[in-house]
Structure 1
Amino acid sequence: MAANRSAGVSWTRSKHADVSAGFADIDWARPWLASIEARGRRWQTAALAGYDNYLATLNDDATAAAQVTGRGKPLAFIAQEALPSGASYEGHIAQTGCVPTRHNLHDFFNASMWFAYPRIKAALNARQAEQIDTLGIGPTRGGVRDALTLFDENAVFFACADASLGRALRGFGWRTLFVGERAAWGTRCEARIFGHALLEKLVAPYKACTGHAWIVDVPADYFSLDDAARRAFIDGCVSERLNAAPIDSRAFAPLPVLGVPGWWDANASPDFYDDVSVFRPGRRSRGC
């Protein structure tokens, strides 16, 4: 998330206007956007009206939701150029509650996740800030911050009530997961995209688009819950895991997201999964 966030990056109103056309390209019929559609449509309208209007809308929602960031500061959104010189992006959010936000799709989806999964976003911010406090800002992030950033940018929650499906995912068992167990999707497993960079990529979907799956064990009755209750469940249990122990990049399993049943028309044919450049063979020697 911190890429190009330094104070040396200058974002003028004209530059924001140049990128605003990307907001019009969001297709709310995409199934992976269903959880954020209602708020997202309002934000999209505001973003197309202009950067100031967009930030005002985000802040109205943040005030109404009374959400907080990693160190309990009230959540707010500020223009990117308001990030003080020399300040780190994650550290500034933790210390002030203010999220530097550009007028682009990447930050649009980042802000969306603050509302869809507020406890997870706060936990990630707290852990990132701890790392910055301990190690400072250097030429490299270090393993823990790399993993936290990977999670923030590209994570997909694989909610699973059947351990065999988690094993198929970890073991690159694509035919099992997507063809043989196709009926399990929506009843024993599902995917929910969290990573905002991944959501940005999926505005223009392509077959090789791959997320980093974080397996979330859920009870069978999870699948009888409505969308809001499912998100709340994941928000709670994943944030607890993030707060309890450090993570590293080996905790993830690759998931080609357009392979998820119901997410892409072409995957109705089993032949879709024969493309080994996307659905690669492999074997994991350890669990997540």
Structure 2
Amino acid sequence: MQAQEAARADFGFADIDWSKPWFAQFAARGERWQQGALTSYAALLAEMNADAGETRQVTGRGQRLAFIAQDDLPPGAAYEAHIASTGCVPTRHNLHDFFNGSMWFAFPRIKAALNARQSAAIDVLGVGPTRGGVRDTLTLFDENALLFACADPALSAALRGFDWQTLMVAHRDAWGTRCEVRCFGHALLEKLIAPFKACTGHAWIVDVPSEYFEWDAAARDAWLDESVSTTLLNTVDLTSRMFAPLPVLGIPGWCAENESPAFYDDTSVFRTGRRSR
């Protein structure tokens, strides 16, 4: 059974195509981690912990980040509470946790903010059969969020209004100059190993200054990390209504097929949504 599980995990890691736009932003570290994951579980944890030691990243309550085997999570311990109190992230040898670990380096402040809010909610409510509205929203962000950075309110309005023709056809040239997307959700990244047309992320709209698009990728990510983490920490009533659905393969430049305007005529994917209600 263990050999079968290892084979499945190895197949998944080998299947990461770092040339894809949703993975390319993480390729510099990811390719090294990938080789570790293909070698062994221990080698993956060693690569992750080497980076954690070098960056001195912290979790939601200021504890130094580290990665431990899933079996080292104490029985009965709540995952988020354990990370907050010890800094140790229980990690399995699979794609889901591989991408989760990646986000601690790509957007460290956002991950720490999510962990701080989740652990604080657990302190108040404990771990029950349901998470509650705020924890559900935090989990949705952690698992499936896209960061939609936008300097043009008309484009943000088009996304919120499910106006795909305006956002992705009429203003296609705005992508990269007035708006762009960064993947964040680790479950979403896992799904994008084998992308399909209906694969949809939850876009978190971030208003950015126009000069944002003159910065390099590292500066943009740092700005997003600071801005979004501040919002997550300071917004009391987080709800799922704060997201806008965004079919990932509809993003201009992310799929060859979407060069044709007819790609967006598929109403089973590019729905009218709340606009029509």
In the superposition, the TM-score normalised over structure 1's length comes to 0.93
Counterpart Cα distance in 2 of 1:215 and 1:83 = 34
Unaligned runs of 5+ in 2: none
Q: Quick one: which of 254, 261, 271 aligns to 1:280?
A: 271
Deviation of 1:194 after TM superposition, in Å, equals 0.4
Amino acid at match of 2:11: A
1:226-251 Cα shifts (integer Å, max 9, x gaps): 11000000000000001111311111
1:205 aligned partner = 195
* Residue deviations 1:145-198 (CA, integer Å, cap 9, x gap): 000000000000000000000000000000000000000000000011100000
Equivalent pairs: percent with the same residue? 67
**1:80-106 C-alpha deviation (Å, 9 max, x unpaired):** 011100001101000100000000000
Secondary structure (helix, strand or coil) at the match of 2:176 reads coil
The answer for the alignment partner of 2:205 in structure 1 is 215
Corresponding position: 1:190 with 2:180:
yes
SS state at 2:122 partner? helix
Alignment of 1:71-220 (within 5 A): 71-220=61-210
* 2:47 alignment counterpart: 57
Specify the alignment match of 1:3 in structure 2: none
Give the number of equivalent residue pairs.
275
Question: Following TM superposition, by how much is the alpha carbon of 1:20 offset from its aligned partner in structure 2, in angstroms?
Answer: 2.2
Query: What CA distance in whole angstroms lies between the structure 2 residues aligned with 1:258 and 1:278?
Result: 10
Equivalent-residue separation in structure 1 for 2:6 and 2:136 (angstroms): 28
What is the aligned counterpart of 2:222 among 232, 242, 250?
A: 232
Q: Give the C-alpha shift of residue 15 in structure 1.
A: 3.3
Between the aligned partners of 2:98 and 2:53, the Cα distance in structure 1 is 17
Give the distance between the partners of 2:45 and 2:32, measured in 1 at CA: 12
CA distance in 2 between partners of 1:179 and 1:139 (Å):
44
Amino acid at match of 2:221: R
2:243 — aligned with what?
252
Change (3 A) 1:112 1:13: farther
**1:95 counterpart SS class:** helix
Secondary structure of the residue aligned to 2:105 is: helix
Which residue in 1 is equivalent to 2:15?
A: 25
Gaps of 5+ in 1: 1-10
CA displacement 1:8-47 (0-9 Å, x = unmatched) = xxx9687345422210000011011121101000000000
CA RMSD of aligned residues (A): 1.4
SS, match of residue 208 in structure 1: coil
The separation in 2 between residues aligned to 1:252 and 1:123, in whole angstroms, is 17
Amino acid at match of 2:260: S
Check whether the contact 1:20–1:103 (CA below 8 A) recurs between aligned residues.
no
Give, in whole Å, the separation in 2 of the partners of 1:223 and 1:122: 26
1:283 match: secondary structure: helix
User: Aligned partner of 1:281: which letter?
Assistant: T
